[in-house]
Structure 1
Amino acid sequence: MGAFLNKPETKKYNENGEGNGLRYGVASMQGWRVEMEDAHHAQLTLNGTLSDWSYFAVFDGHAGARVSAHCADNLLESILQTEEFRRDDITEAIRAGFLDLDKKMRELPELSNGEEKSGSTAVCAFVSPKQIYIANCGDSRAVLARNGAPIFATRDHKPELPSEKSRIVQAGGSVMIQRVNGSLAVSRALGDYEYKKVMGRGPCEQLVSPEPEVSVHERLDSEDEFLVLACDGVWDVMSNKALCAYVHSLLQLTDDLVAITNQVIDTCLYKGSKDNMSIVLVVFPAAPKPDPEAQRADRELDETLRQRLTVLLEQSAGQEEDTSNHFSHVLKELVKEKIPGLPPGGGLAAKQALLDKIYREFYPDHTDSSEKFDCQAELADAFGAN
């Protein structure tokens, strides 16, 4: 659960689509973890009379990928099949669908016999023509942005929250080092059945609860810009405000949502994220469009960074016998210059690919240009997680 690679796996899975007046992009990356345990589901059109509804979800597995994969494949149908959904009680249908899935999943052979102990967080959203229904179970998070700022964010279910800790203690457990029984870092999740064995208590009264928190938001076509669903590998190093500002700025540069989501998780990697990362970006009609002035300013910023980094490289050339941390040293000097106009929320980390390219051009004989990952802790400190 806590094992890491020597270097991050940066190959990405991407997906995108357009329909029902929405556009979406997906990016996921294994990163430093030895296994990819995230999963997701994006569906622009639901079946039958729900053809104008869309569904998006992110699942962050732990102790294995079995539960997250099963949830990605089955949560939507579990919700749609509830009696509550047929009665148009969508909020209760989502809640019932989570509980039903958790109950049925327990009977899967590899989970019922105890061989598989994995669990998964889940954050999902239904977008109808008039409303957005958002549900969260665990510490993946959804954020809705208007005018470049977050107007709603789901609550992370952490064991130290008073209401969560109270349930855990009443079920006979404890919260140590901000973990359930000193082990699990989330207080709500699907799966994790070793924490759901307290006799005489219902599914929502166990050490770990499968119950989501569900909210509904009226759509404002003139103001809704985008919805982000992402696992904690993103939120560990980006605040809600920073990520919304960053995505808003990227939408002014390109309408390629795959490029934007890739840029976000790369930036999070450079900011110090050590976890798997998955992000689903859902864009509404009022989102920013590519702007020639913003694009011009970005090109000028790139040229400024090229000039300043080249100067620093020339000044440091031949000064260091040990070049193992040369790149990080030069970047730290660049950080000190506080160059104006860096991407809001992304900062210098958003330009890491450009800086790496400039460095490799200056030192073409340095075949391992991934030196930045060897000193990631130092770079993350220099770039700053916000």
Structure 2
Amino acid sequence: VMKTKEWHLKIGTAMMRGRRRYFEDACVVTAAVPGQPNVRIQAVFDGHGGPESAQALAVNLQDVLTAATPFTQHSLEQACEELERRLKNSVARSGSTAVIVIVEHLDHKEEVIVQGREIVPSMDGHFDTIQELNSRFTESAPREKIEIGNRKRPFKLHVVNVGDSRAMLVTGESYAALTRDHVPDDPGE
């Protein structure tokens, strides 16, 4: 178990070896992104078949995310592909899941459309109006336009989930899931 307070964040992580003889997991508790003073990253890598993959991902994460700015869905997908390339070139056996959280302290205001705590992008990369989104989706959760980058909502989180690990946001006495559990037969995955 580890707790730390750094920058604007209080971070906790707990890991357990279980019944194995060796520890297979790795984490990045908090790391700055060079050239991005308002950004921090956290990650958990759940190794399988040995610790090499999880450790290699943790070692390469900061470098790969530095090249992925500004953070968009496309740049983060490319970052994951680059991490996979590096992993294939350096690790023969083992694998890992990954949950990566990028915390941006915004220095400007943005209007975004959210569904719950999730920003809803349009299909072509820009953000559509609520009416345009509602015409495309039949989900029942309400969407609303909010402003982020202000005193009330100073942060923007980017969450990457590859595999079956889970990320939670805990604030005071409440919490919210930042990831959805992996379901193999979900065509949306």
- Bin for the TM-score computed over the shorter chain: 0.5 to 0.7
Q: Which amino acid aligns with 2:4?
A: G
Q: 2:104 aligns with which of 128, 132, 139?
A: 128
- Partners of 1:144 and 1:25 lie apart in 2 by 11
- Which residue of the partner structure matches residue 25 of structure 1? 12
- Which residue of the partner structure matches residue 41 of structure 1? 28
- Partners of 2:170 and 2:160 lie apart in 1 by 16
- Which residue of the partner structure matches residue 280 of structure 1? none
Q: Which amino acid aligns with 2:52?
A: R
- Partners of 1:138 and 1:100 lie apart in 2 by 17
Question: Which secondary structure does the structure 1 equivalent of 2:84 belong to?
Answer: helix
Q: Percent of counterpart pairs with the same letter?
A: 29
Q: Is the 8 A contact 1:141 1:153 kept in 2?
A: yes
When residues 23 and 44 of structure 1 are mapped into structure 2, their CA distance, relative to the original with a 3 A threshold, is farther
Q: 1:141 aligns with which of 166, 170, 174?
A: 166
**Cα deviation digits, residues 183-207 of structure 1 (max 9, x gap):** xxxxxxxxxxxxxxxxxxxxxxxxx
Cα offset, 1:76, TM superposition: 2.7
Q: 1:81 aligns with which of 47, 55, 67?
A: 67
Which structure: larger Rg? 1
Higher helix share: 1
Q: Is the 8 A contact 1:55 1:124 kept in 2?
A: yes
The aligned length equals 140
- Partners of 1:153 and 1:26 lie apart in 2 by 15
**Cα deviation digits, residues 229-260 of structure 1 (max 9, x gap):** xxxxxxxxxxxxxxxxxxxxxxxxxxxxxxxx
Q: Which amino acid aligns with 2:187?
A: S
Q: Which amino acid aligns with 1:61?
A: G
Cα offset, 1:121, TM superposition: 0.3
Question: Which secondary structure does the structure 2 equivalent of 1:72 belong to?
Answer: helix
Q: Which amino acid aligns with 1:24?
A: I
When residues 29 and 23 of structure 1 are mapped into structure 2, their CA distance, relative to the original with a 3 A threshold, is same
Name stretches of at least 5 consecutive residues in structure 1 with no aligned partner. Answer: 1-13, 165-212, 214-386
When residues 26 and 106 of structure 1 are mapped into structure 2, their CA distance, relative to the original with a 3 A threshold, is same
Higher strand share: 2
Question: Which secondary structure does the structure 2 equivalent of 1:53 belong to?
Answer: strand
TM-score, normalization by structure 1: 0.33
TM-score, normalization by structure 2: 0.64
User: After superposition, where does 1:165-180 map in structure 2 within 5 Å?
Assistant: none
Q: Which amino acid aligns with 2:159?
A: I
User: After superposition, where does 1:1-386 map in structure 2 within 5 Å?
Assistant: 14-48=1-35, 50-82=36-68, 85=69, 88-108=70-90, 110-111=91-92, 116=93, 118-129=94-105, 130-146=155-171, 148-159=173-184, 161-163=185-187
Cα offset, 1:147, TM superposition: 5.7
- Partners of 1:44 and 1:162 lie apart in 2 by 33
Q: Is the 8 A contact 1:79 1:98 kept in 2?
A: no
Cα offset, 1:119, TM superposition: 0.7
